[in-house]
Amino acid sequence: MQIIEVSSPSLAGDFHKIPHTIYKNDPNYIHHLKQDIEGVFEQKKNKFFRHGEATRWVLKNSDGKLIGRVAAFINRKDIKPNKIKVGGMGFFECIDDKQAAFKLLDTCRDWLLLKGMEAMEGPVNFGERDKYWGLIIDNFTMPPYYGQNYNPPYYIPFFEDYGFKEYFQQYIYHRSVQEPLQERYVERAARIFKDSRYEIKRIEKNKLEKYAEDFRAIYNRAWVKHDSHKGMPQVQAMALMNKIKPILDEDLICFAYFEGKPVGFYISLPEINQAFKYVKGNFNLLGKLKFLYHKW
């Protein structure tokens, strides 16, 4: 087997070919957009390069066939004095071959050790935690949502046998909107609506700056007590609003206010992977036309 660091556009292309091999017979799989993935590894696009570094590799067998890929990265902003130095690995894809999987994981481990790291977490993203994060360990019968990691069941023993331990659990819930709400929620909502101190507002596209600030205020108050939370700046909140603006549905995003102050929000976005599945991971001109054709 040959491990090759991605150092050219051709090798970057190989990096994106591998999922097509792994999931060619999986009807649930939906490819990540390669333009999104490339953005993770472009220093001009990914702000995490300001205080970190990343690299990636592809793996070939003795016949030169692509059989796996992986990436490793360091976010020095997360490294705290007197605490274990933790690096990350992610974008792992591999055929059902334990030796190949361990070769990929060894490569990440060795690179992180050379950079002074003492532990490795993964699969994670070199960026925000809203995408490319985690390993599915249960329920392989549903297509992934946009940005959600997806993997075959045989990845689980790869990570367990290599020595990874569960650090935290992350849940993704699916619910049919045709199902009635539980009575206790209906009663609680009715009670709140009768209290004039509370107000529920739907987002307005022409007032995104206001809602970005309300979002930031709620988010920061909710997370301020967590160990590594730095607080979301206004520019980041506005960037998030601008990012979701093209698919934003004003009926699906609500903000709650108590005595005029923002206290909660609910954000629901159309599941764009329903259209992206026809793009096959490439949002080029043809991919954009396919997306527009299949868009809800």
pLDDT tens across the length of the chain (296 residues): 999 999 999 999 999 999 999 999 998 888 888 888 998 998 888 888 999 999 999 999 999 999 999 999 999 888 888 888 999 999 999 999 999 999 999 999 999 999 999 999 989 988 877 788 899 999 888 888 888 899 999 999 999 999 999 988 888 888 888 888 889 989 998 998 899 999 999 999 999 999 999 999 999 988 876 656 677 889 989 998 998 887 888 999 999 999 999 999 998 887 776 766 666 656 665 556 555 555 65
- Asked if residue 221 belongs to a domain, the reply is yes
Q: Which of 122, 151, 168 is the last residue of a domain?
A: 168
| Count of structural domains within the chain | 2
Residue matched to tokens 């490294």? 79
Q: Are residues 156 and 216 in the same domain?
A: no
Residue matched to tokens 């022409």? 206
Return d(Cα 118, Cα 84) in angstroms, integer. Answer: 6
- Per-residue pLDDT of 87-142, as tens digits, reads 999 999 999 999 999 999 999 999 999 999 999 998 998 887 778 889 999 988 88
Q: Are residues 155 and 203 in the same domain?
A: no
What domain range is 220 assigned to? 196-296
Q: Are residues 132 and 211 in the same domain?
A: no
Can you give the pTM of this predicted structure?
Answer: 0.77
Return d(Cα 64, Cα 4) in angstroms, integer. Answer: 11
Q: Are residues 6 and 142 in the same domain?
A: yes
Q: Are residues 64 and 211 in the same domain?
A: no
Q: Are residues 205 and 123 in the same domain?
A: no
Q: Are residues 138 and 214 in the same domain?
A: no
- Asked if residue 284 belongs to a domain, the reply is yes
Return d(Cα 261, Cα 147) in angstroms, integer. Answer: 32
Phi, psi dihedral angles at 9 (to 5 degrees): -60, -35
Burial 100-128 (b: 16+ CB within 10 A, else e): bbebbbebbbebbeeeebeebebbbbbbe
- Residues in contact with 206: Cβ distance below 8 Å, sequence separation at least 6, in sequence order: none
Return d(Cα 92, Cα 135) in angstroms, integer. Answer: 10
